[in-house]
Structure 1
Amino acid sequence: MIGFAILLVYIAIFAGSFLIVRFLVKKATRDFTSLKTVTFGDESAVTSNRTASVVSVLTIFLIWGSFTGSAWVPGFLHAPGPFVGETSFTYTLETADGERDDATVFVRVVDFGEEVEKFEVDPGEGIARNDAVAMPASRSTTILFDKNDEATRKDGARVVAIDGTPIAPGDEVKTDAGRFTLTDKGAISFAPPAGLQMEPIWLPPPEAVVARMVEIASEGYRDSTLWQHLGYSLFRVIAGFFFGALLGIPLGYAMGLSNWFRGWFEPIVEFMRPVPPLALIPLVIIWFGIGETGKIILLFLASLWIMAIAARAGVSGVNISKVHAAYSLGASKLQIMRYVIMPNSLPEIFTGARVAMGVCWGTVVAAELVAASEGAGMMIMVASKFQLTDIVLMGIILIGVIGFGIDILMRKAENYLVPWKGRS
């Protein structure tokens, strides 16, 4: 239910933002790209809309804050929260000989994070006695109604109605107080209205994640600061990627230029390419242990095949007319390699490097989940054991931000080093 509501809100904001930008902002600005004769299918005519990017990020933040009751989001934008306060309902008890009596259960529902404290009420008189129940919001509880009744379930007594509505095992009754069912043993299962907001244990609000990040950045976590954890992960990724590219690019060039090299290495590369790096973790641990060497070798293997395939594709994709033109001008094989093949294969290599870096990030987190004393993955693993969702979410966000930052740097480097990309 909550997931469906989030999806609907996201789609509505996306559609609304698109229409606003399409019909208002675009009319107020002049887009010279639209004057091109051919735009559909032309890559140069499609650029990232910065307004859409900003609205996209704000939308995610808004949905996150709305469905967690964040103090950073205005209250009128909050999704309906769970019921908090006091309520009551009346159940009808029927004894084995058919005698009936009513009793009231007073329920006190406390908000997320508040301590549940028991309280008492006047039990009253009769076969059925009044009860008091305290419980947290968005949860269900089983009410042993007969713990103070004169007639108990062991004597054959049973609940036959809730607030006047008949109920039997397998039935569900909904009232203003909440939802009721009967357990197999006849106890009352009660759930107050849950609303659409998520519990902090499932998804904490943004301010809780930021507060936790500030706390760990200043005080550390598991004997290391936040920056040390991220530094270890970043070092492993860069080292593994470096060695993978160092061997993978020459291997890809060899496969793209030599029939023998391609025939020799292609079965190995194509066999290893679909194997998830995570499947190699047990072997890497057995062969190289759980230290830094094993993690770097795992990341090396994760990037090696991607870089080899990217370099091979770059060589194979060089326009043959350029090679013929170089030969006609008297260029040697070394000069063709230096001035034709390498420059024209660099765009594919950079694309492969971006993919490999993303795979390495995912792999290093998984490797640190298995065995590590420092790293972002270790933080996530330890925090998940203690249900510290704010630390888990903080680690995921930081990993994504760092990975996105690295990708931006690689794109900037590609634009600077390969300005001829996309040109014939």
Structure 2
Amino acid sequence: MIVLLIYVAIFAGAYFLVKLLVHRGTRDFTARKTVTFGDESAVRPNRIASVVSVLSIFLLWGAFTGSAWVPGVLHAPGPFTGDAQFTYTATADGVDPDDATVTIRVFAAGTQSDPPPVDPGTGWARNDSDAIAAWRSGLVRVDRNDDLGRDAGHRVIAINGQLIAPGKEVLTDFGRIGMSPKGTLNVEPAKGWQMEPIWLPPPEAVVARMIDIARNGYRDSTLWEHLGWSLFRVVAGFFFGALAGIPLGYAMGLSDWFRGWFDPIVEFMRPVPPLALIPLVIIWAGIGETGKIILLFLAALWIMAIAARSGVSGVSISKVHAAYSLGASKAQIMRHVIIPNSLPDIFTGARVAMGVCWGTVVAAELVAAEKGAGMMIMVASKFQLTDIVIMGIILIGVIGFGIDMLMRAAERALVPWRGKG
């Protein structure tokens, strides 16, 4: 919730700052258009907003992980580390209550430390020490070195002068001290707002891991082999899906018989997530490469069929009548009218299908894959290697974004008439 509120504040602040400093000094002729609100042609991505958005996400990531790449003044409060003390008051049978001090050494996660040496003192309750890792808690048996133990009725009744009982807690400057039902103290140092590296490592740890895997590989394969196999599976599955889906969509758009025959099948399979087909694909095609490509083929097939059908259905009938009036044959109408006018919808469907295939490849590579970005992510997750998981997610996103950019460029080159009537 804190991160969300900060992100919303950055969004609002950046918006008004850009409006105040940038737009005031530039001439924007978009406002001269007769219609702007609701006009898609009047809306273009604001490049400043895009840059600020990416930087904001990186800043929040670094701030809440204590990244060395983010100035320390911007870091969110981190977990307590260092030495801290608290005093407990204990009672025992036949003696007066006595006080003793416990020194707690809180060390950084991923390192080791011994309890600091302390002077035991002169009372029957002896001073003690312990060591606890940051973001963790620990049970501290303060009676283990006292002259009188639990067999003599040893019982802690106060922490730093505040009464405590089983199930209760006392807040200190460095964290929380609770008491278990059996009377053992549970010391929990303050965790702060930063994320523990096992849950979210800082950006530099992810980059360092990526460099290491790029040099030395992971699971007997280089990083580029993992990404290459994922890319090959996605492209192969998409290619065969488009190869079958586009003609099917054209047939459904041009023939009432084909549409009546295949429409129930397409509409039934369209909402079925590809992940639900994994058990069936394993039974039919096994766990080899064929099964993975078939799964991605099915992920792309229905999308491409619907896109092609929508493209054919959206062709203006006036263009078809004009072609007939000029003496065009059905083959000529198909080549010069229907295909060119349906290509924009097909390219849109191709971009959606490619995105779905990228989202499915991780699941497809769960099935006994030896190489692939999805396999790398899933194996790393079993060992809680979060930096590898995040690295794989980022690389999949970057490659998917790059493919989408290439498909947009291909659409602009091959379908320059899109949106021009």
Check 1:253–1:156 CA distance in 2 against 1; reply closer, same or farther (3 A cut): farther
- TM-score w.r.t. the length of structure 1 is 0.95
Per the alignment, residue 129 of structure 1 pairs with 126
Per the alignment, residue 359 of structure 2 pairs with 362
Per the alignment, residue 59 of structure 2 pairs with 62
Per the alignment, residue 403 of structure 1 pairs with 400
Query: What amino acid maps onto 2:271 in structure 1?
Result: P
The answer to whether residue 193 in structure 2 is matched with residue 196 in structure 1 is: yes
Per the alignment, residue 212 of structure 1 pairs with 209
Residues 66-88 of structure 1 show CA distances to partners (whole Å, capped at 9, x for unaligned) of: 11111111111111111111101
Per the alignment, residue 257 of structure 1 pairs with 254
Query: What amino acid maps onto 2:205 in structure 1?
Result: A
Residues 161-220 of structure 1 show CA distances to partners (whole Å, capped at 9, x for unaligned) of: 211111222323212131121122221111112111112111111111111111111111
Gaps of 5+ in 2: none
RMSD across aligned positions (CA): 1.6
- TM-score w.r.t. the length of structure 2 is 0.96
**Offset at residue 153 of structure 1 (A):** 3.9
Choose from 300, 310, 314 the match for 1:313.
Answer: 310
**Offset at residue 128 of structure 1 (A):** 2.4
Kindly indicate whether the alpha-carbon contact (under 8 Å) linking 1:369 and 1:380 is maintained by their aligned counterparts in 2. no
Distance 2:282 2:66 in 1: 44
The sequence identity of aligned pairs, in percent, is 73
Local SS of the residue matching 1:370: coil
Query: What amino acid maps onto 2:399 in structure 1?
Result: I
Query: 5 Å matches for 1:274-313?
Result: 274-313=271-310
Kindly indicate whether the alpha-carbon contact (under 8 Å) linking 2:80 and 2:174 is maintained by their aligned counterparts in 1. no
Query: What amino acid maps onto 1:216 in structure 2?
Result: I
Distance 1:276 1:77 in 2: 42
Residues 26-71 of structure 1 show CA distances to partners (whole Å, capped at 9, x for unaligned) of: 1111122222111001100001111111111111111111111111
Kindly indicate whether the alpha-carbon contact (under 8 Å) linking 1:277 and 1:302 is maintained by their aligned counterparts in 2. yes
Per the alignment, residue 85 of structure 2 pairs with 88
Query: What amino acid maps onto 1:226 in structure 2?
Result: L
Check 1:295–1:154 CA distance in 2 against 1; reply closer, same or farther (3 A cut): farther
Choose from 149, 162, 171 the match for 1:152.
Answer: 149
Per the alignment, residue 236 of structure 1 pairs with 233
Query: What amino acid maps onto 2:196 in structure 1?
Result: E
Local SS of the residue matching 1:146: coil
Distance 1:212 1:154 in 2: 53
Residues 219-245 of structure 1 show CA distances to partners (whole Å, capped at 9, x for unaligned) of: 111111100110000000000000000
Distance 1:334 1:275 in 2: 35
Distance 2:4 2:419 in 1: 37
Query: What amino acid maps onto 2:209 in structure 1?
Result: R
Per the alignment, residue 165 of structure 1 pairs with 162
Residues 364-421 of structure 1 show CA distances to partners (whole Å, capped at 9, x for unaligned) of: 1112123210010111112112221111111111000000000111111111111111
Distance 1:160 1:113 in 2: 34
Kindly indicate whether the alpha-carbon contact (under 8 Å) linking 2:106 and 2:132 is maintained by their aligned counterparts in 1. yes
The answer to whether residue 352 in structure 2 is matched with residue 346 in structure 1 is: no
Gaps of 5+ in 1: none
Kindly indicate whether the alpha-carbon contact (under 8 Å) linking 1:89 and 1:177 is maintained by their aligned counterparts in 2. no
Query: 5 Å matches for 1:172-183?
Result: 172-183=169-180
Kindly indicate whether the alpha-carbon contact (under 8 Å) linking 2:79 and 2:193 is maintained by their aligned counterparts in 1. yes
Distance 2:290 2:230 in 1: 13
Local SS of the residue matching 1:351: helix
Local SS of the residue matching 1:244: helix
Choose from 326, 330, 342 the match for 2:327.
Answer: 330
Per the alignment, residue 107 of structure 1 pairs with 104
**Offset at residue 16 of structure 1 (A):** 1.0
Choose from 65, 69, 72 the match for 2:69.
Answer: 72
Kindly indicate whether the alpha-carbon contact (under 8 Å) linking 1:153 and 1:186 is maintained by their aligned counterparts in 2. no
